[in-house]
Amino acid sequence: MIEPLTCGVPHVPNHVELAHGGGGRKMRHLLESVILPAFDNRLTEAKHDSVVLPIGNERIAYTTDGYVISPMFFPGGDIGKLAIFGTVNDLAAAGAIPKWLSVSFILEEGLPLSELERVVRSMKDAACVARVDIVTGDTKVVDRGKGDGLYVTTSGLGMVPAGVDVRPARVRAGDAVLVTGDIGRHGVAVLSVRKGLAFESPVESDCAPLADMVQALVGGGIDVHCARDATRGGLAAVLLEIASTARVEITVEEDAIPVDPSVAAACELLGLDVLHVANEGRMAVFVSESDASTALDILRGLAVSRNAALIGRVAPDGRAGAVSLRTRFGPERAIDLPAGEPLPRIC
């Protein structure tokens, strides 16, 4: 006989749950209550994908990211490609030209060498495409059952060109909000091959390096106020973070946000909001209203951002930290952070 549970105290977890890593409210709470208070300093206050460090007359962007994706190989990419492009994109989001990467592997005992070789080859190719050098690294092995095949952490350094200042705090009322392509591809591609959930889908991950795209904007004379890749938590989380850091309200038009019909269909099937689905090759970009059409022309001239679109504005007198979406029928609704990992619903 199992003992009955009668305690009426609401559930407050005292351990880490998967939802703490989902890019949503729980993760923000974990960062704010445990992690940031321990490390907070002047430089982390920018709450940006990379920190920009002044060294002599240069400014260096620095970032790090861990990759634990399961499965390791998915349509349109793999954990290795993701680990290179993801870190490159975090540097790109600070307006930096990515230069050097470190790579740290945690390998699980029993991982087939052929899989490791495949990942490493993919990293080499990705580094070549993104024009970064992998200059240092580390390898550790853990007991079977204590890792999910392999985990990769990459850190990156990049140079921020003179005059470039890309960060959330520069977002201003009246700014135009651009998205550099159709959203939701990465999350749908990964879910389509996840164990126990496999469904047929033609969707491939959008995994791609975006530093050249940001530099094309800069080179085209655009003053990029802010750029951020819409990874975990999707476009919704990125817009909410920026609205919160810049203390502005962002309004976007549902019909203006590009979504491929296959991605829309998969989200409908799984009960996911495409705004919450992860991307690995898309950015939200904030520029002055007067720069918007030139920026859009530059983006649409590049293969990686050919489906770029103007999706909204920073409201002139908004509620700080809010993001609202005008639906295609007219009414506005709030956009919220996902609670945790996006889960398929039951009906």
Partner 1 sequence: MKYLDEFRGADDVRRHIDAIARAVTRPVNIMEVCGGQTHAIVRFGIDELLPSAITLLHGPGCPVCVTPTEIIDHAVAIAALPDTIFCSYGDMLRVPGSRRDLFSVKATGGDVRIVYSALDALDLASREPTREVVFFAVGFETTAPAHAMAVIEAERRGVANFSLLVAHVRVPPALETILGDPDRRVHGFLAAGHVCAIMGTEEYDALVAEHHVPMIVTGFEPLDLVQGILMCVRQLESGRATVENQYARVVRASGNLAARAVLREVFETVDRRWRGLGTIPKSGFALRERFAAFNAERKFPIKLAIVDDPPECLSGEVLTGHRRPNDCPSFGTRCTPDKPLGATMVSSEGACAAYYRYRRREAFELA
Q: Give the footprint of partner 1 on this chain (CB under 8 A).
A: 1-11, 13, 15-19, 25-26, 28-29, 32, 47, 196-197, 240-241, 243-245, 249, 261, 264-265, 268, 271, 319-322, 327-334, 336, 339-340, 343-347
Q: Quick one: 11 or 42, whose CB is closer to partner 1? A: 11
CB of 78 to partner 1, least distance (A): 23
Q: Quick one: 78 or 249, whose CB is closer to partner 1?
A: 249
Tokens found for residue 202: 């033609």
Nearer to partner 1, 264 or 302 (CB): 264
Please say which residue, 165 or 254, places its beta carbon nearer to partner 1: 254
Amino acid at position 14, single letter? N
Q: Which is nearer to partner 1, 4 or 112 (CB)?
A: 4
Which residues, in sequence order, are CB contacts of 307 under 8 Å at separation 6+? 181, 182, 258, 300
Residue 38, CB-side half-sphere exposure with 13 Å CA sphere: 5
- The end-to-end CA distance of the chain, in Å, is 33
- Considering the complex, what minimum distance in angstroms separates the CB of residue 201 from partner 1? 12
What's the min distance (Å) between Cβ of 87 and partner 1? Answer: 24
Residues 6 or more apart from 217 whose CB is under 8 A from it? 224, 285, 287, 295, 298, 299
- Least separation, in Å, of the C-beta of 26 and partner 1? 7
Sorted by sequence, the CB contacts under 8 Å of residue 84 that are 6+ apart come out as: 101, 123, 126, 127, 130, 132, 154, 209
Taking a C-beta distance cutoff of 8 angstroms, is the pair 47, 169 a contact? no
CA–CA separation, 90 and 158 (whole Å): 10
**Closest CB 64 distance from partner 1, rounded Å:** 21
- By beta-carbon proximity to partner 1, the closer residue of 7 and 303 is 7
Give the full edge-to-edge strand order of the sheet including 226-229: 226-229, 283-287, 176-179, 309-314, 250-253, 323-326, 332-334
Distance separating alpha carbons of residues 345 and 251, to the nearest angstrom: 28
CB of 81 to partner 1, least distance (A): 26
- CB 138 to partner 1: min, Å: 28
Q: Quote the least distance from Cβ 337 to partner 1, whole Å.
A: 8
User: CB 19 → partner 1: shortest distance, Å?
Assistant: 6
Structure tokens at 4: 């009955």
Q: Which is nearer to partner 1, 32 or 58 (CB)?
A: 32
If phi > 0 it is left, if psi is from -120 to 50 it is alpha, else beta; for residue 63 that is: beta
Backbone angles phi, psi at 78, to 5 degrees: -160, 175
Q: How far apart are CA 169 and CA 244, in angstroms?
A: 9
Kindly tell me which of 126 and 263 has the beta carbon lying closer to partner 1: 263
In terms of CB distance, is 161 or 321 closer to partner 1? 321
Closest CA to 94 of 222, 226, 269: 226
